[in-house]
Amino acid sequence: MKRRNFLKKASATGFGLVAVSSTLISCDEVISSEKKIVTPILQPVRPLVIATWNTPLAVETAAKILQNGGSALDAVEQGCRVEEANEKGQSVGKGGLPDRDGNVTLDACIMDDKGNYGAVLGVKNIMHVISVARKVMEDTPHVMLVAEGAEQFAVSKGFKRENLLTAASKKKWEKWKVKAAYKPIINIENHDTIGMLAIDAKGNISGACTTSGLAYKLAGRVGDSPIIGGGLFVDNEIGGASATGLGEEVLKTVGSFLIVELMRQGKSPQEACEEAIGRIVNKPGKDFKNFQVGYIAVNKQGETGAYSIHEWFSYNLFKEGENKNIKSDYFNKK
Ligand code: SD4
């Protein structure tokens, strides 16, 4: 079969070659002459990094690791550390906004290409919680540690205790305290909670997610970010997904797991993200005007997707040597 005919036939039979960002490397040799079954061989796009919000430095850091032959796991850990150390970002790491009592508590999780997972929840005084989550995954038989136990574990592994409340975040909290209205409304326009997914040169996928959670949350509140299947899920056979926004809504729909399972059933990352947002906004009577949720996803071929409830969600994508911030498509077009 000639290549042109093959392409015509492939799109007519729903192979969707146009939408696939992978490179077609061969076609003739995979056409069985007896059954005429066409199986395009696609070369996945790699290395690749995708991360929530405007996080160019974090993505660049991860991309450099991958370009030097590093693993997706190292890439997502090191990428997330950039945002944890960025004091200007007020929803992650040092400089994160505190809970209503003035304590900065961090949540993080990491998942590798073998399906291993580690997380820490509600940790005070430790900046690089993503690395603590990795230690939980690699050095303990457990998957989650919380609060004081997680902090003690971190210290036992050589992490330094430090004050995470910066002067700028303290000032904002003090201003909030004047009225202390407990309305955990998530800012729709901009955040820096980082969920990151990467594919390395071997084609393996890993993911990580780190946050200080909702500003002025009740002490002890934990959102989706450190919860497997909520803020993050990776299945190396299929792809990965990560979430940002109002964690309660992500958790109620097990958003990241849902996206990966939808991709397993044949949906593209974009279609899967859109359906996951649909599960939130299409609940009868759901008033989604005042909260944001955004998803990113990647599949094994390196196709990516992103979708949010409202405008202004963006993500950074490193692909084919370029690192770009891209505005996500969204549901609430009015
Ligand atoms: C949470 N999903 O704790 C996080 C918040 C977030 O940018 O994404 N903020 O619910």
Percent of the chain exceeding pLDDT 90 equals: 78
pLDDT in tens, 232-253: 999 999 999 999 999 999 999 9
Residue 163 has pLDDT above 70, yes or no: yes
Ligand 1 centre distance from Cα of residue 228 (Å): 14
Asked whether residue 280 carries a pLDDT value surpassing 60, the answer given is yes
For tokens 């007896």, what's the residue?
A: 34
Q: How many residues does the chain have?
A: 334
Query: Does the structure show a pLDDT above 60 at 120?
Result: yes
Q: How many whole angstroms from 135 Cα to the centroid of ligand 1?
A: 23
**Of 264 and 27, the one with more pLDDT:** 264
Q: Is the CB of 184 under 6 A from ligand 1?
A: no
Q: How far, in Å, from the CA of 183 to the mean position of ligand 1?
A: 14
pLDDT bracket for residue 178 (50, 70, 90): confident
Q: Is 98 in the pocket of ligand 1 (CB under 6 A)?
A: no
Average pLDDT (283-308) is: 95
Q: How far apart are CA 154 and CA 271, in angstroms?
A: 39
Domain ranges of the chain: 3-37, 48-330
| Closest atom of ligand 1 relative to the 245 alpha carbon | 8
233 burial level (CB within 10 Å; 0-12, 13-18, 19+): buried
Region of poorest pLDDT, from 16-25, 195-204, 264-273: 16-25
Q: What angle do CA 9, 10, 15 make, to 5 degrees?
A: 150
Task: For 203-221, write each residue's pLDDT tens digit.
Answer: 999 999 999 999 999 999 9
* Candidate from 214, 221, 232, 313 with most ligand 1 atoms within 8 A of CB, to mutate: 214
List, as one string, the DSSP characters of 58-126. Answer: HHHHHHHHHHTT--HHHHHHHHHHHHHH-TT-TTSSTT----TTS---EEEEEE-TTS-EEEEEEE-S-
Q: Has domain 48-330 been given CATH number 3.60.20.30?
A: yes
pLDDT at residue 290, rounded to an integer:
86
Cβ proximity of 169 and 94 under 8 Å: no
CA distances from 278 to 60, 92, 272 (A): 32, 27, 10
**Binding site membership of 105 for ligand 1 (Cβ less than 6 Å):** no
Report pLDDT for 266. 98
Please indicate whether residue 193 is annotated as part of the active site.
yes
Residue 20 pLDDT more than 60? no
Atom of ligand 1 nearest to the CA of 221: 3
| List 105, 193, 210, 253, catalytic entry | 193
**Strand extents, DSSP E, 180-331:** 194-199, 205-211, 232-235, 239-245, 293-299, 304-308, 314-319, 322-327, 329-330
Residue 91 near ligand 1, beta carbon < 6 Å = yes
Q: Whose CA is nearest to atom 7 of ligand 1?
A: 193
pLDDT, tens digit (0-9, with 9 covering 90-100), for 21-75: 343 434 333 444 455 566 555 677 889 999 999 999 999 999 999 999 999 999 9
240 C-alpha to ligand 1 centroid (Å): 18
The pLDDT of residue 37 is 63
Instruction: Give 315's pLDDT tier (boundaries 50, 70, 90).
Output: very high
